[in-house]
Amino acid sequence: MQDILTYGDDRLLKELKRAEKPAYVCTIASSDTGAIEGISIAGASAEMRRYTPPADMEALFYGEAKCIPGVAATPDGIPSPVIIAMASLRAAGFPIFVVDAGSEVSPQTPYFRLGSTPGRSLVTGNAVEDVEGLFERGQHLGHHLAKLADYLVLGESVPAGTTTALAVMLALGMDAEDKVSSSMIGGAHALKYSTVLQGFGAAGIGKGTLARDPLEAVRCVGDPMQAAVAGIATAASRSIPVMLAGGTQMAAVAAVIDRLGQADMGNICIGTTRWVREDADADLVGLAEQAGCPRVYAADLDFGESRFQGLHPYEAGLVKEGVGAGGMAVAALVRTEITAAELVASVEDVYEATVVPMLKS
């Protein structure tokens, strides 16, 4: 498969190529963890991060957000990876289904509601409301979607999602410290780790103490997306392949799924970007192995030669992944004749249509 970096066997890539009716499902949520100063740059400010998940979904449906102008961006104006997802979805022609697991701001798109309560900050040690309900409704949705689709790509948009991922993986006893990716250079590992320790203290848990109770780990220190996507993937994996589209956030989801023991892990893989796969400040492959999901496919995108300076920061290690960008890019590369260079050119077209007008205004 050209322009895809493969770790583990490529069986699920071949099934993706053969799939007749694949679908893209993107789950959004917000949490007060995302409001912690310095923890995320998924949005122009802590206040604006509330709009990033719905803005991403609106951009997927309408070509630009409705709740904010253009598309979500970092404080420095680097655009959300939604532009990669948009270009990939256009190339691959997948149907899109939005799932709200608990977003503070609802998207102005059609969406599945699985939950309506945003996550609390993980420092409370009591982060997610009705975690069993989210998982159960996710299972129902996955079961019914898998009767129609023959392959699911599951993305997410959750600010501060790598911090809740770190917390859950540590609670499960994984060797995850300093291994999660970040939208920031260097990874903000110290802030993330101290935040997690605060949450552990509040919940009265420690590293590995919830190894056998993954939903309790999500309830204490995770986010609503994790429970919903775990449910969708668990049910769907019993009949069709599932690609968890994201970076180290999806390693945490994979670990939850694996520890719950109700899924067919042989039908689950992770799809991401080269920027996460090769992140020297993280270890996605190692986390995926520990999560019982030893298949990682990364789209070999390169923005270094882009005609837009605004895309170059991706090569410096900013943003990297989100909104299922890497997984959908993998899907587009597998299912069409498009090359990575051509996909980058399509991303540039989206940039020109959505981001350039914002810069001019």
| CB nearer its own copies, residue 82 or residue 205 | 82
Q: Are 54 and 184 in contact (CB under 8 A)?
A: no
**Least gap, CB of 141 to its own copies (angstroms):** 4
Sheet-wide strand order for 242-245: 4-7, 296-299, 268-273, 242-245, 151-157, 22-29, 96-102
Q: Are 51 and 45 in contact (CB under 8 A)?
A: no
Site for its own copies (CB under 8 A): how many residues?
A: 26
From the list 10, 46, 112, 315, which residue makes contact with its own copies (rule: CB under 8 A)?
112
From the list 79, 102, 138, 173, which residue makes contact with its own copies (rule: CB under 8 A)?
138
Strands 296-299 and 151-157: unpaired
| CB nearer its own copies, residue 113 or residue 212 | 113
Q: What is the CA radius of gyration of the chain?
A: 18
| CB nearer its own copies, residue 38 or residue 95 | 95
Residues 78-107 that bind its own copies (CB under 8 A): 93-97, 100, 106
| CB nearer its own copies, residue 130 or residue 177 | 130
**Least gap, CB of 205 to its own copies (angstroms):** 29
> What tokens does 334 get?
């597998």
Q: How far, in Å, are 36, 170, 187, 342 from residue 201 at the CA level?
A: 17, 13, 23, 49
23 to 62: interface string for its own copies, x by CB under 8 A: x-------------------------------------x-
From the list 11, 14, 140, 212, which residue makes contact with its own copies (rule: CB under 8 A)?
140
| CB nearer its own copies, residue 14 or residue 113 | 113
| CB nearer its own copies, residue 103 or residue 195 | 103
**Least gap, CB of 25 to its own copies (angstroms):** 11
From the list 68, 145, 334, 350, which residue makes contact with its own copies (rule: CB under 8 A)?
145
- Those residues whose C-beta lies under 8 Å from the C-beta of residue 183, and which sit 6 or more positions away, are 40, 41, 42, 74, 162, 318, 319, 320, 322
Rule CB under 8 A: is residue 285 a binding residue for its own copies?
Answer: no
Give buried/exposed letters for 37-51 (b at 16+ CB in 10 A, else e).
eebbbbbbebebbbb
**Least gap, CB of 93 to its own copies (angstroms):** 8
Rule CB under 8 A: is residue 336 a binding residue for its own copies?
Answer: no
Cα–chain center distance at 213: 22
From the list 6, 109, 124, 306, which residue makes contact with its own copies (rule: CB under 8 A)?
109
Rule CB under 8 A: is residue 144 a binding residue for its own copies?
Answer: yes
Q: Whole-angstrom Cα distance, residue 156 to residue 256?
A: 16
Query: How many CA atoms lie within 13 Å of 81's alpha carbon, on the beta-carbon side?
Result: 32
Q: Which residues bind its own copies (CB under 8 A)?
A: 21, 23, 61, 93-97, 100, 106, 109-114, 137-138, 140-141, 143-145, 147-149
